[in-house]
Amino acid sequence: MHSNTLVGLLAFTAAVNAAPQWGGWGPHGGNGAGSRSSVQNMKDKIKNVVVLVMENRSLDNLLGGQKIRGLDNPINNGPFCNPLNLTNPKAGYACSQASDFDSVIDDPDHAVYGNNIEWYGTFTPDNNAISSGRLQPHMQGFAHEEIRSYQAKEANHTFLAQQVMNYYTEEQVSVLTALTQNFVTFNHWHSDIPGPTNPNRVALHSGTSAGHGANNFAYGSMMQRSIFQELSETNHTWKNYVTDTSEEDALWFNWTYTSGNTKLVVPLANFASDAAAGKLPEFSVIGPSCCGVGTTSMHPQGLVSDGEQLIKDTYEALRASPQWKQSALLITFDETGGFHDHIPPPLAARPDDLTYTATTPDGSNYTFQFDRLGGRMPTWLISPWVQKGYVEQKGTNSDGQTASYAASSMLRTLGYLWDFQPFTPRVETSPSFDALIQRTSRSNTPKILPEVYKW
Ligand SMILES: *[C@@H]1O[C@H](CO)[C@@H](O)[C@H](O)[C@H]1NC(C)=O
Ligand SMILES: *[C@@H]1O[C@H](CO)[C@@H](O)[C@H](O)[C@H]1NC(C)=O
Ligand SMILES: *[C@@H]1O[C@H](CO)[C@@H](O)[C@H](O)[C@H]1NC(C)=O
Ligand SMILES: *[C@@H]1O[C@H](CO)[C@@H](O)[C@H](O)[C@H]1NC(C)=O
Ligand SMILES: *[C@@H]1O[C@H](CO)[C@@H](O)[C@H](O)[C@H]1NC(C)=O
C-alpha cells in the first residue's frame, strides 16, 4: 500500500513537472502513458486489437485465489468479511473463503440500488456526501443483500452468503491462472457504471450509457457515436464476433443499422478461421453467450468452466494466428454482478449531464448521477509485447493524475492508437494503458493454455 502511494506521488510529481505539455486529447510530452513516445511505440507494435467481454464477476470472486504478488485479493490480503445482517451484528458474519461453485445458483443483485446497499449499506446513499468524499463505500453489504433477495427460497443464510463471498482457487480457474502468470493483470480496473450489463456494454463502446442504469432498452436505440462508427468513418476495420443474439455489442448503436453495417456482426466460428487466415480486422469484439446453463459468459447460472473454455479457445486461436505478433487481446468483464469485492470504487468524471432514477426495494427513489465507477473486475492485457506475470496498479490519466483504470480506459487507449478524440469527459479522464506495451517482444508466450478444471 505504502509503495503504491509513493509510486502515485512520483507519477504525479512527474506530471506536474511536465505540465505545460499536458492537456488536449492527443499524446503529450513527458513520459509514460499517453506520451508521444509511448503512443508511437504502441502504434509500431500493435495493429490488431481483440476484446472479449465476459459477464458479471468481481476481481475478489474470480481472482480471489491468485497468489501472484501485487494482486490485492482475499488470498493475499484477506479474509474479508461481511455481516449477514447490516443492522443486526448478532446474526454473525461470512468471510471470503477458498473454493467456489462452478455455477452460482442465486444470481446476486447488481442493480444500481443493489450496488448501493452492497457498498454503502443503504439503497439511497446521500449523493452530496458521496461526491464531496464524506461518504466512502465500506463494501459490507454483499451478504446482507444476497440474503434479503433470496431468503424466501433459501433458508440457509450461510449458504447464500458464501455465493457472494467465496472465491475460486488457482486450480479451479486454471486458464485464468495461466493468463495471470503469463501476461498483465490489472489490479484496479472498474466497470464504468455500478449497474447491470446493457448500460455497461454500451458505455464500454461509446463512453456513456446515455442515461441508462438498467437493462430496459433495445438494440438500435443508442444514438451516440460508438467505436464502431468511429473506425468505419476513418477507414479502420472491425468485426463483432458473436455466439448468439445475447451479446451483439455493435447492435446497440443505431448507426450500425442505418449505415448498413449489421453485416459486420458475424458468427463466433469466423473468429478462428479469420485468425488462422491472418484476416482479423483491426478491431475484433467477441461476444460470449449469456446467461443461463450452457452459456459461456460466466454469468450465473452459466458455468465458470464453460467461460474458461471460451477464453482458452480465443487465446489459442489468436496465438496460432500469423497476426499474433502484432496483436493485443484485452479480456475483461461487463460488471461485477453483485459479487463481493473489498476495494471501494472511486469517483469519476460524469460522461454527460444525464441521470438515472430507480425505485428501490424499500419504495424510495434513488437518482444516480454517473459520477462514480462500478466494481472492480478481472481484466488482462495479453500480447507478445507485454511483460510476463506483471500486475499493473493504478494508471496515470492525461491530466497527470493517478487514477483507477475503468472500462473507458479501452476507448482512451484506442483513441491514441487510431487517432480519435475521447467521446466523453469520462473517457478523456480515464488512464490509457499504452505504456504496458514494451519495446521488445517475447518468445516465451504459451501456445496452449491448461485444460479447464473438471468439477
Ligand atoms: C436484519 O435484522 C433486522 C433486525 O433484527 C430484521 O428486521 C431484518 O429483517 C433483518 N434483515 C434481513 C435481510 O434478514
Ligand atoms: C448451510 O450451508 C453451509 C454452507 O454451505 C453448510 O456448511 C451448512 O451445513 C448448512 N447448514 C444447514 C443447516 O444445512
Ligand atoms: C434508428 O433510429 C431511427 C430514428 O430514431 C428509428 O426510426 C429507427 O427505428 C432506429 N433503428 C433501430 C434499429 O432501432
Ligand atoms: C477513407 O477512404 C475513402 C475512400 O478511399 C476516402 O475518400 C476518405 O478520405 C478516407 N477517410 C479517411 C478519414 O481517411
Ligand atoms: C418514485 O418515482 C416514481 C416515478 O417518477 C414516482 O411515481 C413515485 O411517486 C416516486 N416515489 C417516491 C417515494 O418518491
Q: What is the pLDDT of residues 310-366, one digit of tens each?
A: 999 999 999 999 999 999 999 999 999 899 999 999 999 999 999 999 999 999 999
pLDDT at 223 over 80: yes
When mean pLDDT is compared across 9-18, 187-196, 212-221, 261-270, the lowest value belongs to 9-18
Mutation test of ligand 1: which of 84, 85, 123, 160 has the most ligand atoms closer than 8 Å to its C-beta? 85
Ligand 2 centroid to Cα of residue 378, in Å, is 29
Looking at ligand 3, which atom is closest to the CA of residue 218? 14
3-state secondary structure of 95: strand
* CA 154 / ligand 1 centre spacing (Å): 15
Which residues sit with their C-beta closer than 6 Å to ligand 3?
220-221, 254, 257-258
Q: C-alpha cell of 163?
A: 455465493
Q: Which ranges of 278-407 does DSSP label H, i.e. alpha helix?
A: 304-319
The residue among 418 and 6 whose pLDDT is bigger is 418
Whole-number pLDDT of residue 24: 65
- CATH superfamily entry for domain 3-72+168-436: Alkaline Phosphatase, subunit A (3.40.720.10)
Residue 18 pLDDT exceeds 90: no
How close are the terminal C-alpha atoms of the chain, in Å?
A: 36
Distance 113 CA to ligand 5 centre (A): 15
User: In the predicted model, is pLDDT for residue 2 greater than 60?
Assistant: no
Where are the chain's structural domains? 3-72+168-436
Q: What's the whole-model pTM score?
A: 0.91
Over residues 69-86, mean pLDDT = 98
Please say if the pLDDT value at position 149 is more than 70. yes
For residue 239, list its beta bridge partners: 284
Nearest ligand for residue 248 CA: 3
pLDDT of res. 311: 97
- Cβ(147) – ligand 1 distance below 6 Å: yes
Looking up cell 447488481 gives: 110
Pairwise CA distance, residues 288 & 13, whole Å: 42
At 138, the amino acid letter reads H
Better pLDDT: 378 or 454: 378
Q: What is the mean pLDDT of residues 10-33?
A: 58
b/e sequence 32-55, b meaning 16+ C-beta within 10 Å: bbbbeebbebbbebbebbbbbbbb
Q: Which amino acid is at 270?
A: N
Beta bridge partners of 52: 286, 331
Report whether pLDDT(6) > 50.
no
| Residue 42: pLDDT over 90 | yes
Mutate to test the pocket of ligand 3, among 223, 224, 258, 261 (most ligand atoms within 8 A of CB): 258
Q: In angstroms, rounded to a whole number, what is the distance separating the alpha carbons of residues 422 and 384?
A: 27
Question: H or E stretch including 162?
Answer: helix 157-165
Ligand 2 atom closest to 156 (CA):
1
- CA 282–ligand 3 middle distance (angstroms): 28
- Report which residue type is found at 418: W
Q: Kindly report which listed range (70-84, 137-151, 293-307) carries the lowest average pLDDT score.
A: 293-307
In this prediction, what percent of the chain has a pLDDT beyond 90?
Answer: 84
Confidence of residue 302 (pLDDT cuts 50, 70, 90): confident
**Can you tell me the distance from the alpha carbon of 76 to that of 221, in angstroms, rounded to the nearest whole number?**
44
Q: Tell me the ligand closest to 363's alpha carbon.
A: 5
Residues 6+ apart with CB under 8 A from 68: 180, 181, 185, 389, 391
Is the pLDDT at 15 greater than 80? The verdict is no
List pLDDT tens digits, range 99-128.
Answer: 888 877 888 888 999 999 999 999 999 999
Index of the ligand 5 atom closest to the CA of residue 363: 13
